[in-house]
Amino acid sequence: MPGRLARYRGGLRAGLGFGAAAFVVGISFGVVAEPVMGSVAPIVMSTVVFAGASQFGVVAVLASGGDAATAIATGAMLNARFLPMGVAAASALRGSRLRRALEGQAIVDASWALAARGDGAFDREAMLGATVPQYPAWVVGTVIGVLFGGTLGDPEALGLDAIFPAFFLGLLAAELGRPRAVAAVLIAGAIALGLTPFLPPGLPVLLASSAALIGLWRR
Amino acid sequence: MAAMSEVWITIGGLFAATVAIKAAGPVILGGHRLPGGALAVISLLAPALLTALILTDTFAREQELTVDARAAGLACAGVAVALRAPLLVTVLVSAVGAAAVRAVT
């Protein structure tokens, strides 16, 4: 494995690409959230929550008239994937409990996927480096989306709702080389789509994570 | 527009929940290594979760499954990914694809 500084720089470099995409996704979040939450709340949310899927999920719940408890539950379920991600990252995080808790906040999908190597080891420096450009990109993108959403017009007419899945597809492509990743993708996809008609949004995604149990299957 | 009190309660609650979820693994497990089976499962969590998010964000409206312009956006993103385009290009192409389908339908 290369030195710590080199791994941090490598993460930072990848993070610039992730950050450019997060910037565009952040704009689309600001545009979508402003009519539902006003102009200040979406910016505060991006600053303190910093988790796109849950933020889009919460806006959808509030827009359809859901209350705060439902919105929080939906957002928390969409973020529940950070729990197993944090378990994977824990092997590489050192220092006091507070420091580990703080470094754990750097877990976002793109950085985690970059840092989680196929053999189960975890690259702490790559994750931290990759998150550094994404955070300001996400917040500034949200600000721009909130400020200029009104002049942009209908976010759906601009295709902004297609941006988030495209972002995840780009991340997924880098994952397919792992052993049994294709099988996990097929099973997870079947679970997510199969359960969508029967469960509230968020739960099918969380339950689809059980597809990863195929990793226990020995040939 | 949703009631502002609900909005701020939601932000506070989701903030607390997200911080706790992200901190749980690192705080409880610290620098301990996990057994091989657990690592094999963990390494497959990202592809499984990304797949689920992609499909539900594209084909679900609440609890209903639909095929609409978002599917065209995802197809465009798929072409970009197959051509090894950078992530930024991939997301922009998907927006253009979905917008184009909405413009003609």
Cβ contacts of A44 within 8 Å, gap of 6 or more: B11
Do the Cβ atoms of B39 and A74 come closer than 8 Å? no
Do the Cβ atoms of B92 and B99 come closer than 8 Å? no
Phi, psi (degrees; rounded to nearest 5) at B65: -95, 130
Counted across chains A and B, CB pairs separated by less than 8 A come out at: 355
Q: Which two tokens stand for residue A66?
A: 């859901």
**Residue B31 confidence (pLDDT) above 70:** no
The span from the CA of B72 to the CA of B75, in Å, is 5
- Report which of B82, B67, B34, B13 is spatially closest to residue A166, judged by C-alpha positions: B82
Paired sense of beta strands B60-61 and B64-65, if any: antiparallel
The span from the CA of A161 to the CA of A158, in Å, is 8
- Report which of B87, B52, B71 is spatially closest to residue A174, judged by C-alpha positions: B87
CA-nearest residue of chain B to A191?
Answer: B52
| Residue A122 bridge partners (DSSP) | A116
Q: What is the pLDDT of residue A6?
A: 94
- Asked if the Cβ–Cβ distance from B74 to A161 is below 8 Å, we say no
- Report which of A120, A126, A173, A142 is spatially closest to residue A59, judged by C-alpha positions: A142
pLDDT tens, position by position, A104-149: 999 998 899 889 876 668 899 999 999 999 999 999 999 999 999 8
Question: Which residues 33-72 in chain A show a CB within 8 A of chain B?
Answer: 35-38, 41, 44-45, 48-51, 53-54, 56, 58, 60, 62-65, 67-68, 71-72
Phi, psi (degrees; rounded to nearest 5) at A188: -60, -40
Q: Comparing B96 with A67, which gets the higher pLDDT?
A: B96
Q: What is the pLDDT of residue B42?
A: 75
Angle between helices A4-37 and A163-173 (to 10 degrees): 160
> On the CB side of B82, how many CA atoms lie within 13 Å of its CA?
6
Q: Comparing A152 with A75, which gets the higher pLDDT?
A: A75
pLDDT tens, position by position, B35-94: 778 777 877 877 888 899 899 989 998 889 999 999 999 999 999 999 999 888 998 999
Residue A219: pLDDT band with limits 50, 70, 90: low
Q: What is the pLDDT of residue A1?
A: 63
Mean per-residue pLDDT, B96-101: 96
| Residue B61 bridge partners (DSSP) | B64
Mutate to test the interface with B, among A142, A167, A198, A206 (most CBs of B within 10 A): A167
Q: Which two tokens stand for residue A219?
A: 């040939």
Q: In chain B, what residues touch A109 (CB-CB under 8 Å)?
A: 46, 49-50
Cβ contacts of B102 within 8 Å, gap of 6 or more: A156, A157, A159, B69
Q: What residue type is assigned to position B15 of the chain?
A: F
